[in-house]
Structure 1
């Protein structure tokens, strides 16, 4: 009996988890070939040495209350490698000064007017306080942009100074480019159930306070997870890009950028939406059309090592409100967030939002200069740089616009038998959502055997 053969296109977290899950589902005899032209596997999970210390310069954390990553780490024997934050909270930079992050928000949407005092003007505070008494028009199942409903109910200042800083950090987008059901699904569900106001919907959606860290990371960086997935999946890595895909009887034929052909019983496509659209245009036009409707943004990260003792606040970082005269959209004080090791402080500055070309067009030297300027502006200090690493993530940040769930469903529904999709453009940009989508794809493919 001939062993089954599977191909995975894309070597980021989604492709690696799909390969690992496939191995567990189809057994040791199956062949699993993964294609990715990058210099290393992992995609946006990328760990570099900065100041002699491992630092993640792509995705840096995962939400602990979602089970996907803790479960995966336990399966791989890495449970002891899971780290929690030190418990320090971020600051907001708004109105050219630092503010404490408002408590009890859901992705920046506040649950009380009192929590916004000092961050927004008195008129906005009064508008928020009166919001529960104003009639709410909400259609169950609808998916407006976050800016539409928060701006209408609480005012534009709340959007710019509380919501946009959170969504800019996560999605490289804004409240105007992200739908409610993607950014705050629990709030949307509360409104569906009849919450009489946005204030009440947010209050009902607040996560229960447990005292446990909200975010987790991996000791040694995400490269530890990447290595384990490669080892346990037993995959064969072909360091090329797949350029074409075609049915071959009951199987699939693939051809890479060097002209070499491959065949497989089934294929998982774990590539960004723009690439997916091009790859399946001739075999799954409905999927290609849907994937082409997913906008993408680019981002850049400047990682710095500065001397130990640099007078940085005991905070996890700074989120930047819209319209501020800073270049960065967020500053992560990594050593304060996760605990300092060695004799340096590590920090990251993030640049680029949906619609701009900062990550693509700005030189490394200019990004570094912007970083030092912003650190001086925000903290009032001149920073001595001991080490620096610049990383660009081009077209890597999908935007979950209003109605995105329907687009994701259309991407999946348009695929012929033997093809499945995974990736951050489907169900969420975070690592847990990518793990879940990859697990779903592998399960669908394995069920065909």
Structure 2
């Protein structure tokens, strides 16, 4: 690990940008679902990171935490200004009103800049932060020189709302040391403002403001810690669940490809199969060659395969699947209602196609029939695909769901928000599999 350090230390020193390193050095123990003492889990989340690893998307996303102090100032400064007007009327109204207007404009510019679609640029952000900091430092001095003495301390309360937001902003964006330094510098700044207006330093009001600043910095630090550690914990759980999902996908691929081919090879030795050894060998070679090509495409060009598949709507995917199954001896009648191709995402279309493939292979292996009907229709705010055969069927009590139904069908649909229902022993015999996914 190059230049390793503690995630907690980096978070406190650098602020929200340090969260961009939260993806590095994630121990599996963080996401262990087994009960663990809270302090031990926090200790693991606060452990070593590689600061050279920085996730760009995460870096951009975590900067939005500064919207919290910006939003606070948008509410607090006009609210405090309303209190000032209620107490003093037109006395000192112009300078305090101008300050309030400028404060609101600065925060609106900050919101607009954070929400714009252009790429995030740290240098521009630094310039905006510098302008905001200069305004925060100079405004109490200007108010001290322009507001009458009788309204001065209430006017200062309006600028204090902006000051508190500044401390939170610096703590979240640049880290606790920066926020603390500014908070300490605010104490003599307020004493200077008091002296400019009243001729006295007024230690008590300055200490009161400084105490409030410390409270604000504590809250900002707590928000920073919760955001950072929560993000790291969520990433650890996401990584763990992603690994489990990838493993399940690999198991499905093995079940739906290699295992199916091996079973087809075994079934070719039934009494109904040809007794010509040479023909059987050729058939075995054909199955093995086709299977090798399919696995190679899955491993080496999965991304391009998905992109090509994305160009075809669900009806065409199922038609291609029906042609594929016809080569293996299963005749499928496809009935597709008129559908809007854009209503179903590509991920859900692929999940439906692969689940239908598994259902059709089950028909081919277990039903004793070589015919199946596949019907596609809109239903209950989604797409339903029903496969129905009139084969021998099965009893759920005697034959509980195996991997093919539980993983290749049920789990695959559940991952995209869908459901599946397998019914057998129906009137007229056979099995019906109903797959449904939402739009």
TM bin, normalised by shorter chain, reads: under 0.3
Q: Which has the larger radius of gyration?
A: 2
Which structure has the highest helix share of the two?
2
User: TM-score, normalized by length of structure 1?
Assistant: 0.20
Which structure has the highest strand share of the two?
1
User: TM-score, normalized by length of structure 2?
Assistant: 0.20
Q: Which has the higher contact order (CA 8 A, sep 6+)?
A: 1
